[in-house]
Amino acid sequence: MTAVFILVDALGWELVKDRRFLLEELPYRQAVETIFGFSSGAIPSILTGLLPEGHGHWNLFLYSPHSSPFRWARPLTRLPARWRNHRAVRKLVSIIGRRLSGADGYFSIYGIPVELLPYFDICEKDNIYRPRGLAPNVSIFDQLQRAGITYRVYCYHDYDDAAAVRAILRDLRDRAAQFYFLYLCGLDAFLHDHIYSVESVSREMERYESWIRGIFRVALEADAHAAFYVFSDHGMTPVRESFDLMEAVRALGLREPEEYLALYDSTMARFWFFNDRARCAVTELLGSLPYGRVVRREERRRLGIAFCDDRFGELVYAMRPGCLIHPSYMGGNRWKGMHGFDPEHPTSYAALLARQEPPVPVRHIRDLFALMLREAGL
Ligand SMILES: [Zn+2]
């Protein structure tokens, strides 16, 4: 048995549907619904078959002052603003925070101000591409290990995309494993900056196509019946406008962190309130803005982000697709493309490419878990 699963970050259905991308090798193609959120929530859904409220991973930062790996940085908040958020201080806070959190997974403090970090913890503590990385939930890698199926994983923890491709080619030639999971992340970064440049997007996609075509050929030489799938975790939405939500909230004159806390995640903002004045003022402001909407409780349940507590946000404000919070804590870049908008928007959909119709229906990215199990013979 040989099964190859290739996750191409941000290879959305919009990019694939009108292109001949790998059409000869993988003639079966379909759109796949993603989660509301980012890769930090989407990839755990692929690996466990659960929605974010089930596996507990959503946006990287969550409210948890007691477990925050940045608690020690509280005295720094007394420094003048220009010092506490100086590049060198931020770097130090990031390095020490990473060590204290024991984080072995993806880690970044993004652009979150140093004075706010002590209120937050991160949800990805372990390398999710290893067994027990998503404990207490069971991931595909736990299942493979339990069943004694030999497998290899290639991702940004150990390789850049080119090196990952070289490594899987070598292992396939050596018939080193039965199950291969390759995660290519470079297209995502490229699309964030270049989604409007049709020519350069096509060139970049050709680069990925030729890499994957090479892997496909070698996989079929190893096993003519190899299961071979290319899929993504989400799409990419062209950014058309932005709004400075941070400034609008600050103009309310509320005190942060005493009265409220907010994280501005570029396509959504998340709030925690410590008094009614703050809750009312922010809710009223958000209700008056034409740039997005408050995600209601029933919608949160439908999206699988109705966490049993409000650690990921008491109030979630979703920007309308194509309209970005700028500036945001996801960096001061003027992104040309972004993901993490409404999953029902056409540009949000992920893609699945295969040799033939999959043996289990894949409607949502979480269904990829069942597909991987099936192809592994489990
Ligand atoms: Zn991205």
Buried b (16+ CB within 10 A) or exposed e, 327-348: bbbbeeeebbbbbbbbbeeebb
Asked whether residue 99 carries a pLDDT value surpassing 90, the answer given is no
pLDDT value of residue 184 = 98
* pLDDT in the model for residue 294: 97
Q: How far is the CA of 339 from the centre of ligand 1 (A)?
A: 6
Residues with CB under 5 A from ligand 1 (ion): 188
How many angstroms is it from 189 CA to the middle of ligand 1?
6
Q: What is the 277 CA–ligand 1 centroid distance (Å)?
A: 35
pLDDT classification of 75: cutoffs 50, 70, 90: confident
- Ligand 1 centroid, distance to 338 Cα (angstroms): 7
Domains and CATH numbers, the chain: 3-54+127-237+343-375 (3.40.720.10), 61-122 (no CATH), 240-334 (3.30.1360)
Question: Roughly what angle, to the nearest 10 degrees, separates helices 198-222 and 186-194?
Answer: 170
Mean pLDDT of 237-243: 97
**Distance (Å, rounded) from C-alpha 230 to C-alpha 352?**
6
Confidence of residue 244 (pLDDT cuts 50, 70, 90): very high
Please state whether 337 falls in left (phi above 0), alpha (psi between -120 and 50) or beta.
beta
**pTM for this structure?**
0.94
What is the distance between the alpha carbons of residues 336 and 100, in angstroms, rounded to a whole number? 35
Q: Using CB atoms within 10 Å of the CB of residue 283, give its burial: 0 to 12 exposed, 13 to 18 middle, 19+ buried.
A: middle
